[in-house]
Structure 1
Amino acid sequence: MELSKIWLSSPHMGGKEQEYVKEAFDTNWVAPLGPNVNGFEKDIETYLKEPVYVGALSSGTAALHIGLILMGVQAGDEVLCQSMTFSASANPILYLGATPIFVDSEADTWNICPNALEDAIKDRIAKGKKPKAIVAVHLYGMPFKADEIVAISQKYEIPVLEDSAEALGSTYKGQKCGTFGDIGVLSFNGNKIITTSGGGALVTSKKEWRDKAVFLSTQARDNAPHYQHSEVGYNYRMSNICAGIGRGQMEVLDAHIAKRRDMHAFYANLFADNDAVTIFEEPADDYFSNHWLTSILIDSDKTNGRTREDLRLALDAKNIESRPLWKPMHMQPVFEKYPFYGNNISEKLFEDGLCLPSGSNLTDEDRARIKEAIISFF
């Protein structure tokens, strides 16, 4: 009999989602507006505990796209972007006809390197092209070095688009991720810490930016009795149905984070005596990661040549999903022609790194299977 699939990170419902969705059906609010949308936005604003405004959109990618527009990015501009990330962080730069300038990671958080970032800014300015924005990412839920990145942003007057798609609930010095940048972005895709089946949100301290984001996301319809449009708009607003799922998910967000962190602790214990494996952990007490995905690095010099790919295949043979780290954007065929600044730390992380099953709905039986498969491999 084939073993059931253990997924990397699957949706985990809390129980109240159907009540909000049923209410939307019962009241016939199924469009991209309604009480669930308004309520979901307020739930997020309350959770983030900062004076911010939230616009619920159809995806995190949509929020990134709108965020760049609000920052004034246009065709021909340059945008600095963390190289080690999912392609959605970089794709909207190309949507606008702008040029991505990729920046390497640093070893502590695996996120955008402050030194490489400043080197990139100085060099682009020397070349006569001051970048218009910085896309910085909290990778796998680990906060980037917010103090240093924000200081660089302020020094050169380049706004930060904070990609917090993987980091809802993570904090740096007690402040919630998603609230450090000029604009923050959240994702509620099916594999995230909570989900709306598909969806995202734009976060900003500027109410006018939030309102403009909602305006652009509803086809930029002018205030007129007829359909009139003075700007290009997008169909990016979240539906009341999806927002209903989100309202139910917000009620269990902290519980899901606790379960993800428990999974991380499970792996930390499992690898405690294995000097061939380094587990990705907070570098200091200032950092609190939701540990959306627990990730490890494997030193093949200490495993008789066995690599992270060998472990991935061994787990796959037991019907357990794992995944290499994000392949850096500057190594991707679609992006490899664009400039890159750094010391290739992200390339080494990609070569040695593996994401392990981390879902908040994994059972004791799942953990036992994972443990047996990993111990057997090593």
Structure 2
Amino acid sequence: MPIAQAVPVAPPALRRPTRPAAEPILLSPPQLTGQEIHRLAATLESGWIAPAGPVPAAFEAALAPVLGLPQVLATASGTAALHLGYRVLGLVPGDEVWTATLTYVATIAPAVQMGARPRFLDVAEESWTLDPNLLERELARAARAGRLPRAVVPVDLFGQSCDLDAITALCDRWGVAVLCDSAESLGATRRGRPAGQGARLAAFSFNGNKIITAGGGGALASDDPALIAEARRLAAQAKEAAPHYQHETTGYSYGLSSILAAVGLAQLGALPARVEARRAIFARYQAGLGDLPGIAFMPEPDWSRGTRWLTALTLDPAAGAPGREAARLALATAGIESRPVWKPMHLQPAFRRAPRAGGAVAAQLFEQGLCLPSGSALGAAQQARVIGILRGLWNA
């Protein structure tokens, strides 16, 4: 058997240097203010780390003027806030809950888990949020049939408020409660009012990818102190006032820990700057890509000022653009995270039998829509990489 020959290896000094891979660009990573470590240290030194004590209360107090809603309960997640909202609105099995089909599953999942029947409504082209005209027709139809929903849940999408004024006016006409899912839109306004203000209840999220993060957590807010007091009781396992553990009903362990509340407190003051940063990122994308055929950005109605939490656009191959999935894969190959817009709920297998009204607008937005990296700290050079890769697809 021949003896294997050793393959000569170049000395280290003569090897061709390998080009380091470009640093990944994430969709919406958290950005720290530098104050988090001080808040955390003070909280740990105080001994309060559970969902109790001064820090969650301070976070709630700081949130109230930002939200424009005086009653605030900090919760373990935005989903927990929505669940509590459904509970205090008296949702029972068999009730109908209506929501925009273009949303994340957490909007409707707690209601379904409580035995409610979902109904999905299409969105308006001019806002990508719940269509008030469609809602009006559906409420009138339901009133004639004697089957109004227990709640309507409009969704603030990608940092843009829904037309909540029109939606609440319609629901008030028929006595239907509005629980606004504002998880994605802290800092957004419409007609000068904060996102969520005007609904019976509004839910917010401080998940790691949000414009302001606590590393998790959420909040339920309202003008109604009785609703938030009941939500607070349920969030603490529905314990009654007694020297022993007394329960007239069952609740949940949904309070926000002091640790996460401390992070949220450190973040909250940066909200105005974060809004301006993300709007500037959107403007750079618009300037760098807006001249290309077949591309359109998420519209901002004249009554709205969104945060542009995520820059969202559509790519229409019929008008000369690459397909959405081709663009996403090209970015992924370069280590750049992007994401299709939400897959509409009426297209999700979990809700294949749920009734709906319309859905064509949301379905087309999903087919063509893409969210680009939008983190508040996204640098100009990083953004130029994203823009350059996308522009290259038109010349391929």
* TM value normalised by structure 1: 0.97
Deviation readout 1:35-84 (Å, 9 max, x if unpaired): 11011101111223x35210000011011111011111111111111110
8 Å CA contact 1:119, 1:341 repeated in 2: no
1:318-337 correspondence to structure 2 within 5 Å: 318-337=334-353
1:328-347 correspondence to structure 2 within 5 Å: 328-347=344-363
What SS is found at the alignment partner of 2:350?
coil
8 Å CA contact 1:297, 1:308 repeated in 2: yes
What SS is found at the alignment partner of 2:252?
coil
Letter in 2 for 1:294: T
Deviation readout 1:219-268 (Å, 9 max, x if unpaired): 00010111111111001000000000000010211111111111101111
| Rounded Cα–Cα distance in structure 1 between residues aligned with 2:345 and 2:51 | 33
Deviation readout 1:252-305 (Å, 9 max, x if unpaired): 111111111111011110123113100113121x2100000010011101226x
| Rounded Cα–Cα distance in structure 1 between residues aligned with 2:361 and 2:320 | 21
Distance 1:181 1:192, change over 3 A: same
Bigger Cα Rg:
2
Q: Could you tell me which of 324, 329, 332 is aligned with 1:316?
A: 332
Q: Could you tell me which of 178, 190, 193 is aligned with 1:172?
A: 190
**Aligned equivalent of 1:45:** 64
* Count of aligned pairs between the two proteins: 375
Deviation readout 1:127-170 (Å, 9 max, x if unpaired): 44221000100111111112211111111110110110011000
| Rounded Cα–Cα distance in structure 2 between residues aligned with 1:164 and 1:271 | 29
**Aligned equivalent of 1:27:** 46
Moved more, 150-159 or 239-248: 150-159
8 Å CA contact 2:293, 2:320 repeated in 1: no
| Rounded Cα–Cα distance in structure 2 between residues aligned with 1:341 and 1:197 | 36
Say whether 1:296 aligns with 2:313.
Answer: yes
| Rounded Cα–Cα distance in structure 2 between residues aligned with 1:223 and 1:229 | 9
8 Å CA contact 2:183, 2:204 repeated in 1: yes
| Rounded Cα–Cα distance in structure 1 between residues aligned with 2:95 and 2:206 | 29
Say whether 1:17 aligns with 2:33.
Answer: no
Moved more, 242-251 or 272-281: 272-281
Letter in 2 for 1:218: A
Q: Could you tell me which of 285, 300, 311 is aligned with 1:282?
A: 300
Offset at residue 365 of structure 1 (A):
2.4
Deviation readout 1:357-377 (Å, 9 max, x if unpaired): 000011122112112211212
Say whether 1:61 aligns with 2:79.
Answer: yes
For structure 2, which runs of at least 5 residues remain unmatched after alignment? Answer: 1-19
8 Å CA contact 2:237, 2:253 repeated in 1: yes
8 Å CA contact 1:77, 1:98 repeated in 2: yes
**Aligned equivalent of 2:221:** 203
**Aligned equivalent of 1:247:** 265
8 Å CA contact 1:52, 1:179 repeated in 2: no
Q: Could you tell me which of 360, 366, 378 is aligned with 2:376?
A: 360
Query: What is the root-mean-square deviation of aligned Cα atoms in Å?
Result: 1.2
| Rounded Cα–Cα distance in structure 2 between residues aligned with 1:161 and 1:185 | 8
| Rounded Cα–Cα distance in structure 2 between residues aligned with 1:272 and 1:226 | 64
Moved more, 272-281 or 176-185: 272-281
Letter in 2 for 1:213: A
8 Å CA contact 2:207, 2:215 repeated in 1: yes
Letter in 2 for 1:338: A
| Rounded Cα–Cα distance in structure 2 between residues aligned with 1:271 and 1:372 | 9
* TM value normalised by structure 2: 0.92
8 Å CA contact 2:81, 2:220 repeated in 1: yes
